[in-house]
């Protein structure tokens, strides 16, 4: 295996650990994970009532999240997915998208920040948070990213900052 491929696999692995941490936080805060298919399935409120005794069709949980949720089309007109989409957070009636960007060593993740920001600001149907951590970003990258916050990009947090924020807002 080449040195570059080894670095790529390590980056994917550490990114997966960061996403698993977010998943764990959401579950501990009372959110239920659904598949994209289950989250998108249309169920009328009539079908969800107990009077029909259709126990195979359960109502959707009031607090849920979905990994790799399709949020629409990107600024390039391609399918766009949020790392996580949360429904049921008190301050976010239209949902909340979470983007997790982990960069432990120098690489290209911070070069993708402008693309991510433009998609959030112009294409996401709901507000979003970015969790960016790992310490490998180029100097100034996180500062620039935080400066991009607006109505749709609510904030940029490190993993520790997100944990504190989630205790208050999720």
Give residue 96's Cα distance to chain centre.
8
Q: Whose structure tokens read 């550490």? A: 14
- Per-residue pLDDT at 9: 42
**Burial of residue 130 (number of CB atoms within 10 Å: 0-12, 13-18, 19+):** buried
- Per-residue pLDDT at 149: 97
From first to last of the 170 residues of the chain, give the pLDDT tens digit: 554 544 444 444 556 889 999 999 999 999 999 999 888 774 433 344 444 445 455 567 899 999 999 999 999 999 999 999 999 999 999 999 999 999 887 777 778 999 999 999 999 999 999 999 998 888 899 999 999 999 999 999 999 999 999 999 99
Full domain range(s) for residue 47: 3-169
**Alpha-carbon distance 167 to 153, whole Å?**
19
- Per-residue pLDDT at 135: 87
Phi, psi dihedrals of residue 73, rounded to the nearest 5°: -110, 145
DSSP state for residue 148 in the 8-state scheme = T
- Number of other residues whose CB lies within 10 A of the CB of residue 31: 22
SS (H, E, C) 103-157: CCCCCCHHHHHHHHHHHHHHCCCCCEEEEEECCCCCCCHHHHHHHCCCCCEEEEE
> What is the spatial order of strands in the sheet that 64-73 belongs to?
32-33, 64-73, 79-87, 96-102, 128-133, 153-157
| Domains of the chain: total | 1
For residue 139, give the CATH number of its domain: 3.40.1340
């Amino acid at each position: 295996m080449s040195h570059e491929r080894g670095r790529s696999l390590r980056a994917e692995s550490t990114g997966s650990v960061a996403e698993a941490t977010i998943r764990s936080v959401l579950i501990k805060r009372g959110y239920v994970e659904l598949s994209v298919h289950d989250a998108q399935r249309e169920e009328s409120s009539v079908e969800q009532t107990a009077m029909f005794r259709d126990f195979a069709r359960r109502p959707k949980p009031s607090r849920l999240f979905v990994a790799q949720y399709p949020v629409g089309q990107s600024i390039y007109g391609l399918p766009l997915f949020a790392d996580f989409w949360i429904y049921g957070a008190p301050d976010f009636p239209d949902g909340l998208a979470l983007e997790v960007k982990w960069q432990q060593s120098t690489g290209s993740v911070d070069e993708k920040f402008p693309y991510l920001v433009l998609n959030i600001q112009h294409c996401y149907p709901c507000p979003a948070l970015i969790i960016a951590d790992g310490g490998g970003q180029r100097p100034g990258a996180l500062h620039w990213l935080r400066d991009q916050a607006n109505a749709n990009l609510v904030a940029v947090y490190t993993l520790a900052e997100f944990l504190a924020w989630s205790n208050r807002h999720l």
